[in-house]
Amino acid sequence: MGDMSDAALVSALRREMSRAVARQVASAGNLANLETPGFRAKEPDFSDTLADKVGTPLSMAATAPGHLQGAPAGAASSAKESEGLSTRRDGNNVQLDRELLIMAQASADFSKAQTALAAKFKLVRYALSEGR
């Protein structure tokens, strides 16, 4: 296994946490529009480089009259319509079970990255306190 620098490790964990948050925000927006006729489920598009989007604050964007969906600021182009989902008669294709599963998986991914990051910082604090 190759050695990874501390900065690269922290950066990778930060990107993973950002991806998890993006998945949760997209699912939350989909769930908010569960009963909106014609609404099409969206998911983050990770094919673009996320380096410039890491750490950006959330903003709100209108998706339908009377509804709002959270999305990373400037990320309008980084969301795409979910493909392969069955559409109801009202034109909406949001599936409650799918969105809840995505949110649970994203939460677990965030938690794993957060635990690894906390362990890394614990090692750094230990090294600093023992170096006195």
Q: What is the pLDDT of residues 74-110, one digit of tens each?
A: 344 478 898 999 999 999 999 999 999 999 999 999 9
The domain limits of the chain are 6-130
- Tell me the residue type at 122: K
Q: What is the pLDDT of residues 25-76, one digit of tens each?
A: 999 999 999 999 999 999 998 765 444 555 555 455 666 665 554 444 434 4
Q: Give the number of residues written for the chain.
A: 132
Tell me the pLDDT band of 114, cut-offs 50, 70 and 90: very high
